[in-house]
Amino acid sequence: MRRYLRIVLLFARLEAQFELAYRTNFVFDLLQQVVITATSLGAVLILFSYTETMNGWTLPAMIVVVGVFYIVQGIGDLVFLPSAQQLIEQVRLGTLDFVLLKPLDAQFFVSLRRIKFTAIVEIALGVGIVAVGFAKLGTLDLLAGLLFLITLACGVVLVYVLLLVLGTLAFWFVRVENLLVVYEAFTDAARFPIDIYPFWLRFAMSSVVPVGIAVTVPAQAVSGRLDGLGVAAILAATVGAVAFGRWFWKTGLRSYTGASA
Amino acid sequence: MIRVYRALLLAQLQVAAQYRLSMFLYLLFSIMRPVIFLAAWSAVALARGGSVNGFTPADFAAYYVILTVVQHLVTAWNQYDFELQVRMGQLSPRLVRPLDPIHYAIAENIIWKSFTFVGILPVLAVIVITYGVQFHFALWQIALFIPSLLLAASLQFLISWAIASSAFWTTRTHAVSSLFDRTSFIFAGQIAPLSLLPGVLQQVAYVLPFGYIFGVPTDILRGGHDLPTSLVLMSGQAVWVAIAFVASRIVWRFGVRAYTAVGA
Is residue A217 within 8 A of residue A151, CB to CB? The reply is yes
Task: Give residue B20's pLDDT.
Answer: 64
- With bands split at pLDDT 50, 70 and 90, how would you rate the model's confidence at B117? confident
Task: Give residue B261's pLDDT.
Answer: 62
Average pLDDT score over residue span B53-67: 89
- The shortest C-alpha distance from A217 to chain B (Å) reads 18
Instruction: Indicate whether B21 pLDDT > 70.
Output: no
Task: Give residue A247's pLDDT.
Answer: 94
Number of domains in chain B: 1
Average pLDDT score over residue span B163-175: 74
B186 touches chain A (CB under 8 A): yes
State the residue range of the domain holding B247: 20-258
Task: Give domain status of residue A159, yes or no.
Answer: yes
Residues of A in contact with B21 (CB under 8 A): 178
Is residue B263 within 8 A of residue B89, CB to CB? The reply is yes
- The shortest C-alpha distance from A215 to chain B (Å) reads 15
Of B36, B46, B131, Cβ closest to residue A191: B36
Q: What is the largest CA-CA distance in chain A?
A: 62
B196 touches chain A (CB under 8 A): yes
When scoring A178, A179, A182 by the number of chain B Cβ atoms within 10 A, the one with the most, hence best to mutate, is: A178
Q: Note the ipTM here.
A: 0.85
* DSSP codes joined into one string, B192-231: S-GGGS-HHHHHHHHHSTHHHHTHHHHHHHHT-S-HHHHH
Task: Give residue A260's pLDDT.
Answer: 54
Burial class (CB within 10 angstroms; exposed 0-12, middle 13-18, buried 19+) of B263? exposed
- With bands split at pLDDT 50, 70 and 90, how would you rate the model's confidence at B9? confident
Task: Give residue B22's pLDDT.
Answer: 66
List the beta bridge partners of residue B55. Answer: B52
Residues of A in contact with B39 (CB under 8 A): 192, 196-198, 201
Task: Give domain status of residue B196, yes or no.
Answer: yes
A197 touches chain B (CB under 8 A): yes
Average pLDDT score over residue span B87-96: 74
Number of domains in chain A: 1
Closest CA to B255 of B105, B88, B8, B83: B83
Task: Give residue B91's pLDDT.
Answer: 75
Task: Give domain status of residue A7, yes or no.
Answer: yes
Q: Which amino acid is at B261?
A: A
Instruction: Indicate whether A201 pLDDT > 90.
Output: no
Residues of A in contact with B25 (CB under 8 A): 178-179, 181-182
Burial class (CB within 10 angstroms; exposed 0-12, middle 13-18, buried 19+) of B110? middle
Chain A, nearest residue to B50 by Cα = A51
Instruction: Indicate whether B19 pLDDT > 70.
Output: no
Average pLDDT score over residue span A224-236: 87
- Cα within 13 Å of Cα(B11), Cβ side: 12
Chain A, nearest residue to B129 by Cα = A198
Residues for chain B: how many in total? 264
Task: Give domain status of residue B14, yes or no.
Answer: no
- Scanning B111-170 for CB atoms below 8 A from A yields 126, 130-131
Average pLDDT score over residue span A247-260: 81
Average pLDDT score over residue span A177-203: 86
d(CA B88, CA B229): 46
Task: Give domain status of residue A14, yes or no.
Answer: yes
Task: Give domain status of residue A13, yes or no.
Answer: yes
Verify whether the Cβ–Cβ distance A32 to B175 is below 8 Å: yes
- Residue-wise pLDDT for A155-181, tens only, equals 999 999 999 999 888 888 777 777 788
Is residue A136 within 8 A of residue A64, CB to CB? The reply is no
Average pLDDT score over residue span B108-134: 82
Task: Give domain status of residue B6, yes or no.
Answer: no
Instruction: Indicate whether B263 pLDDT > 60.
Output: no
Average pLDDT score over residue span A66-77: 93
- Residue-wise pLDDT for B209-223, tens only, equals 888 999 899 999 888
Verify whether the Cβ–Cβ distance B37 to A43 is below 8 Å: yes
Task: Give domain status of residue B11, yes or no.
Answer: no
Instruction: Indicate whether B31 pLDDT > 60.
Output: yes
Instruction: Indicate whether A257 pLDDT > 90.
Output: no
d(CA B102, CA B161): 8
- Residue-wise pLDDT for B238-259, tens only, equals 999 999 999 988 988 888 787 7
Task: Give domain status of residue B227, yes or no.
Answer: yes
pLDDT, chain A, mean: 86
Average pLDDT score over residue span B170-190: 77
- Residue-wise pLDDT for A109-128, tens only, equals 888 888 888 888 899 999 99
Is residue B212 within 8 A of residue B237, CB to CB? The reply is yes
Percent of all residues in chain A with a pLDDT value above 70, rounded to a whole number = 97
Verify whether the Cβ–Cβ distance B186 to A39 is below 8 Å: yes
- With bands split at pLDDT 50, 70 and 90, how would you rate the model's confidence at A236? very high
Task: Give residue A237's pLDDT.
Answer: 92
Chain A, nearest residue to B196 by Cα = A46
Task: Give residue A48's pLDDT.
Answer: 92
A31 touches chain B (CB under 8 A): yes
Task: Give domain status of residue A259, yes or no.
Answer: no
Which range has the top average pLDDT, A123-127, A174-178, B3-7, B94-98?
Answer: A123-127
Chain A, nearest residue to B130 by Cα = A198
When scoring B27, B28, B195 by the number of chain A Cβ atoms within 10 A, the one with the most, hence best to mutate, is: B28
For A223, the 3-state DSSP assignment is coil
- With bands split at pLDDT 50, 70 and 90, how would you rate the model's confidence at B161? confident
Handedness of CA A150, A154, A155, A156 (dihedral sign): positive
Verify whether the Cβ–Cβ distance B28 to A185 is below 8 Å: yes
- The shortest C-alpha distance from A54 to chain B (Å) reads 5
Task: Give domain status of residue B85, yes or no.
Answer: yes
Query: What does pTM read for this prediction?
Result: 0.85
Task: Give domain status of residue A34, yes or no.
Answer: yes
Of B39, B185, B186, Cβ closest to residue A192: B39
Average pLDDT score over residue span B116-131: 82
